[in-house]
Structure 1
Amino acid sequence: MPSTFDLYKKFAALPQGKRLFSIAYGQKAPYFSSIHLEVQEMKPHLGQVKIPKRRSVKNHIGTIHAIAACNGLEAAMGLLAEATCPPDMRWLPKGMEVSYLAKSTTALTCTAESTETDWANGPDVPIKVKAVTTDGTVTVEGTIHLWVTPKR
């Protein structure tokens, strides 16, 4: 069975491929579809999704809800982990620490980043995450901790 990263590379090469991959990714983990994410980038040590500002992700003050932003951060982290984790290993999220820094008044770009050193120092692998508005304001940032262990 092809890996998620292999599927991304195949889809991304097609017209509308990233849009189609985004839909498929949202169906793989159905809670991701609730934020209507758009996959922007997937490669080793980088995952990036966009959350459009829609009614379904807004809170009572009309901004993107903090938990919707966290959902986007976890989706970005999942892309990174799928593209980075060695094939003989598996990953599981074990915790998330985030700070809410500003109101999310526009669509958000959620980015997850890591380094080779982060992965070499496992099994606890910290993934840096942040959500940024269209004007460049960082609204949420933090770390998602992965537990990376050999497959059985």
Structure 2
Amino acid sequence: MSQVLSLWNTTSKLPQGKRVFSLLFAQKAPYFATIHPRFQEIRPNYAELRIPKRRGVHNHLGTVHAIALCNGLEAAMGALAEVTIPADRRWIPKGMDISYTAKATSDITCIAETDPEQWTGDDPDLPVRVRGVRTDGTVVIEGVIRLWVTPKK
């Protein structure tokens, strides 16, 4: 079991445990802390977090900034990759292709998903499906983050 999944399984059961996990995860890549991610669920092939709508992530329109949304999608993708990747492989993001589909006028739930068979093939190019959703269910951002998955040396 990965360290990230082990930490999630341990902390998420505690009072305020998801908050503690979110703070610890953001320390691994400190830029993630700028969006105050709040992880909701993590399991192999799936990760979900919430970005609170607050002044620190606003753009000039008072909505959640596009790059804050991308940061949330990348954090969700990173958690998914850490808990899903086989122990004999490593990953690195190699690109992001996203579309902004609506204004981000509320807290945003960022979701990353893969299929189990994606991690067992020989193709090192692994697309992770990502999307961000407003509290009313409207998708505000969606796309793919491409990973480069290779054997550990």
Structure 2 contact 108–134 (Cα < 8 Å) conserved: yes
**2:82 alignment counterpart:** 82
What amino acid maps onto 2:38 in structure 1?
E
Alpha-carbon shift at residue 81 of structure 1 (Å): 0.3
Question: What is the rounded CA distance, in whole Å, between the counterparts of 2:54 and 2:142 in structure 1?
Answer: 21
**2:134 alignment counterpart:** 133
Question: What is the rounded CA distance, in whole Å, between the counterparts of 1:87 and 1:119 in structure 2?
Answer: 11
Alpha-carbon shift at residue 118 of structure 1 (Å): 2.1
**Map of 1:31-50 to 2, 5 A cutoff?**
31-50=31-50
Moved over 3 A (4+): none
Question: What is the rounded CA distance, in whole Å, between the counterparts of 1:30 and 1:5 in structure 2?
Answer: 19
The TM-score with structure 1 as length reference comes to 0.96
**2:20 alignment counterpart:** 20
Alpha-carbon shift at residue 4 of structure 1 (Å): 1.2
**1:91 alignment counterpart:** 91
Query: Does the alignment pair 1:8 with 2:8?
Result: yes
What amino acid maps onto 1:102 in structure 2?
A
Question: What is the rounded CA distance, in whole Å, between the counterparts of 1:33 and 1:120 in structure 2?
Answer: 32
Alpha-carbon shift at residue 8 of structure 1 (Å): 1.0
Matched length: 151
What do residues 8-48 of structure 1 show as CA deviations (whole Å, max 9, x unaligned)? 11111212111100011111111100000101111000011
What amino acid maps onto 1:144 in structure 2?
I
Alpha-carbon shift at residue 84 of structure 1 (Å): 0.4
What amino acid maps onto 1:77 in structure 2?
M
Percent of aligned positions that are identical: 56
**1:143 alignment counterpart:** 144
The TM-score with structure 2 as length reference comes to 0.96
Query: Does the alignment pair 1:67 with 2:67?
Result: yes
Question: What is the rounded CA distance, in whole Å, between the counterparts of 1:117 and 1:43 in structure 2?
Answer: 15
What amino acid maps onto 2:41 in structure 1?
E
Q: 104-113 or 7-16, which moves further after superposition?
A: 7-16
Question: What is the rounded CA distance, in whole Å, between the counterparts of 1:125 and 1:45 in structure 2?
Answer: 12
Structure 2 contact 86–119 (Cα < 8 Å) conserved: no
Question: What is the rounded CA distance, in whole Å, between the counterparts of 1:52 and 1:4 in structure 2?
Answer: 22
Alpha-carbon shift at residue 103 of structure 1 (Å): 0.4
Alpha-carbon shift at residue 123 of structure 1 (Å): 1.0
Alpha-carbon shift at residue 117 of structure 1 (Å): 2.5
Where structure 1 has 5 or more consecutive residues not aligned to the other structure, the ranges are none
Where structure 2 has 5 or more consecutive residues not aligned to the other structure, the ranges are none
Question: What is the rounded CA distance, in whole Å, between the counterparts of 1:5 and 1:125 in structure 2?
Answer: 20
**2:109 alignment counterpart:** 109
